Structure 1
Amino acid sequence: MFFLLRWTVYFFSFYVFIMLSFFALHTYLPGAPPILGFLARTMAAYLSLIACAAYGTIASAILRLFGLHFTYGQWTTAKAFKNLCTYTLGVRFEILDNGEQILNSTRPAVFIVNHQTELDVLLLGWIWPKNCSVTAKKSLRNIPFLGWFMTLSGTIFIDRVDRSAAMKAFEGAAKAMKEKRQSVVIFPEGTRSYSLEPMLLPFKKGAFHLAVQGGVDIVPVVAENYSAVLSPKLKRFNAGTIRVKGRMRPRDDDLFNRVEGLTVETVLDPIPTKGLTPADVDQLTRDTRENMLDVLTAMAQDPGSRAFRNQKKES
C-alpha cells in the first residue's frame, strides 16, 4: 500500500512539473509554438477533472448517507470544477440575459445542450442546477474516480448498443423526474462535433421522448462555437470567455406555436411538453434543433463574437 502511494505521489509530482514547464515555456519563450499552450491546458484540465472526481466521490458518498446525493452530489462537484478551472484553465462561460434565473427555477426539466468538445464538461459546471443528473454512456461507469462519482451521485447510464436497456434507463429517469422532481441534462447530438464553424449534428430523440413521457419542460442551452478557445483539430487551447444563451425563434408553422402558453422571446425559455404525445416527438426534435441552430448561427454573426477574433492568438 505504501509502495503504491509513493509511486502515485511520484507520478503526479512529475505530471505537475511537466505541466508547469509547458505553461512557463508557452508564456515566456518568444515565438513558442502554440502546441505548448494546448498541452499545458489539456494537462491542467485532466488534473482538475481527476481532483474534482475524487472530491465528488467522497462528497456523494457522504451525501448518500443522508439521502441528498440526487440533490447536491453532481451540483457540488460541477461547481467545484467550475471554480477550479477558472484558475487552472482561464476559461469562463458567460450566461446571458436571464439564463441563470431560468436554470435555477425550472424544475424538473430536460436540459439539452449542444456538444462541441470535452470542454463541455466545464460548461456543465456553469449551468448546473440543483436536483439534476446527467446521462452518460455506460462505459464511463468503469473509469476510476469519475465512474465511481457518477454512480454514487445518480448518473443515468445509457447502453448505446442495447436499445431496450437504453429505453429502460429513460423510463427510470422519467419516474425519478416525477417522484423526486429531478432534472436531467442531455447532449442530444450524442457525440462531440469538434466543428470549427457553428453547426449541430443530427439530434437523437431520447431527450425528447423523456420530456414528453415525463410531461416536463425542455430547456435548450446553446453555447456559441468556441473553436477559438479550444480546437483539438488545430491543437489550440486558449483562455477566454464563452457566451451561453438559448433564444428561441419559432417559425409560423412549427410545433412550438401549438403549445399553449409558450413564451419564445426570453433567453433559455422552457418549451412545455404538456399535451404532447410520442407522435409529436419527431417534429419537436426537428423544430428544437433548427431553432438552436438559428441561435448558434446568430451568435457567431453578432459583434460579441469578435472578442475571440481580436484576442491574442495565445493567452
Structure 2
Amino acid sequence: MGIGSLLKTAAASVGGVLFVSYLGFIKPLKYYGRMAAYVMCVLISATYGVLLSAVLVFVGKRRLVQHLVARFFLCLTSVVMGIHMKVENAETLTNTRPAVFISNHQSMLDVLVLGAIFPPYTSVTAKKSLKYYPFLGWFMWASGSVFLNRTNRANALKAFEDAKVEIKKYKQSVFMFPEGTRSHAFSPEMMPFKKGAFHLAIQSQLPVVPIVVSNYSRIWSQPHNHISTGTVPIRVLDPVPTKGLTAADVDSLIAKVRENMLKASTELGYAQATS
C-alpha cells in the first residue's frame, strides 16, 4: 500500500472516530468530535462568505455580507450542534441604526451567538493595517468592516476619525466586545471593560446598545472539555444615548453600561444543557 493510500485510510479512520464521538458513542472523545463539527461549520460558512461577498460587492450590497454570513452560520450550526439562541427584545437590534453594539465575550461559541444578534448593516472592527493584507484584508473590505487606526495611541479620539466618517456616511453600525478577550467565565460575571467602544460611540454620537448573553458554561466550556446541547438566553438592553457626551464622560458611561449588563447577567443566570 502506498503512502497516499495510507494517508487516506488514516484520515478516514480519524474522521470515523470523530463522527461517532460527535454522536456521543465514545464519551471521552465527545468534546473533540463536537469541536470538529463546529470548526467544520466555521469553514463552510467562511467559504460561503467569500462567495457571497463577491456577489454583493458587484450589486452594491457589500455591507450586508457579515449579517448574512452570521445568519447562515446560525442556521447551519444550530442544527449540527443542537445549540439554540433565545433573544429577548430582538426588535432593538433592527430599530437602532447606526449604533455601537456591545456584548460580553465568553468563548468561541460567541461566533454562533453573533448569528442571532448581528444586525443588518453592521460590521466588526479591525486594525486599519489589516485592510492591506492579501485575501483577509480584501474580504474584510468586501464585507464592509470598519477599520480603526489603533497605531494612534497618543490620542484615542483621533484613532477613530476614519471609522467615524464611514459610520456616518453609510449609517454603518459596529459590533465590539468591550472585555477585549474571552472570559471563559463559570458564573454570570464580566471582566473589566476597555474604553475603545465607548470612545467610538461618544465621538460618533451614537447610542450604545448592550447585549447580554447568559452564562453558558454548562453547555460549552473549553477549560472543562465540555460541549452539550441546549438553549442560550440572550437579552438586548435599551440603547444608552451619547448625545452631548464628551471624552470626559467615557468612564461614567462605561460604569453605567457595565452595571446594567451585570444586573441583566445575574437575572439571566445560567443557560441549561439538555443533554
Aligned runs of 1:61-80 on 2, under 5 Å?
61-70=54-63, 72-80=64-72
CA contact (8 A) 2:22 2:31 kept: no
Aligned runs of 1:241-260 on 2, under 5 Å?
241-246=231-236
CA distance in 1, matches of 2:51, 2:11: 20
Aligned to 2:142: 152
Q: Deviations 1:164-207 (Å, cap 9, x if unpaired)?
A: 69866632221122111010000000000011111111101111
Whether 1:189 and 2:152 are equivalent positions in the alignment is: no
Tell me which of 233, 243, 249 is aligned to 1:274: 243
Whether 1:176 and 2:163 are equivalent positions in the alignment is: no
Pick which of 154-163 and 187-196 moved more: 154-163
Whether 1:213 and 2:203 are equivalent positions in the alignment is: yes
CA contact (8 A) 1:131 1:182 kept: yes
Aligned to 2:38: 45
Name stretches of at least 5 consecutive residues in structure 2 with no aligned partner. 1-7
Aligned to 1:55: 48
Aligned runs of 1:23-42 on 2, under 5 Å?
23-24=22-23, 26=24, 28=25, 32-33=27-28, 36-42=29-35
CA contact (8 A) 1:44 1:88 kept: yes
Name stretches of at least 5 consecutive residues in structure 1 with no aligned partner. 1-8, 247-267
- TM value normalised by structure 2: 0.87
CA contact (8 A) 1:114 1:222 kept: yes
CA contact (8 A) 2:219 2:226 kept: yes
CA contact (8 A) 1:159 1:166 kept: no
Whether 1:112 and 2:81 are equivalent positions in the alignment is: no
**SS at the partner of 1:92?**
strand
Whether 1:81 and 2:73 are equivalent positions in the alignment is: yes
Aligned to 1:19: 18
Aligned pairs, number: 268
CA distance in 2, matches of 1:239, 1:139: 39
Query: Shift of residue 154 of structure 1?
Result: 2.0
CA contact (8 A) 2:98 2:173 kept: yes
CA contact (8 A) 2:22 2:37 kept: no
Tell me which of 200, 224, 228 is aligned to 2:214: 224
Aligned to 1:287: 256
User: Residues 94, 202 of structure 1: CA spacing in aligned structure 2 closer, same or farther, 3 A cutoff?
Assistant: same
**SS at the partner of 1:243?**
strand
**SS at the partner of 1:108?**
coil
Whether 1:102 and 2:92 are equivalent positions in the alignment is: yes
Tell me which of 102, 115, 123 is aligned to 2:113: 123
**SS at the partner of 1:270?**
coil
**SS at the partner of 1:234?**
coil
User: Residues 153, 277 of structure 1: CA spacing in aligned structure 2 closer, same or farther, 3 A cutoff?
Assistant: same
Whether 1:240 and 2:230 are equivalent positions in the alignment is: yes
- TM value normalised by structure 1: 0.76
Q: Provide the alpha-carbon RMSD of the alignment.
A: 2.9
Query: Shift of residue 276 of structure 1?
Result: 1.0
User: Residues 92, 103 of structure 1: CA spacing in aligned structure 2 closer, same or farther, 3 A cutoff?
Assistant: same
Return the letter of the residue paired with 2:46.
A
User: Residues 159, 187 of structure 1: CA spacing in aligned structure 2 closer, same or farther, 3 A cutoff?
Assistant: same
Percent of pairs with identical residues: 43
User: Residues 273, 129 of structure 1: CA spacing in aligned structure 2 closer, same or farther, 3 A cutoff?
Assistant: same
Return the letter of the residue paired with 2:71.
K
Query: Shift of residue 151 of structure 1?
Result: 3.7
Pick which of 40-49 and 154-163 moved more: 154-163
Query: Shift of residue 57 of structure 1?
Result: 1.0
Query: Shift of residue 67 of structure 1?
Result: 2.2
Q: Deviations 1:15-48 (Å, cap 9, x if unpaired)?
A: 7544313223x2x45xx23xx2211121111111
User: Residues 15, 59 of structure 1: CA spacing in aligned structure 2 closer, same or farther, 3 A cutoff?
Assistant: farther
Query: Shift of residue 160 of structure 1?
Result: 6.0
Q: Deviations 1:42-66 (Å, cap 9, x if unpaired)?
A: 1111111111111111111221122
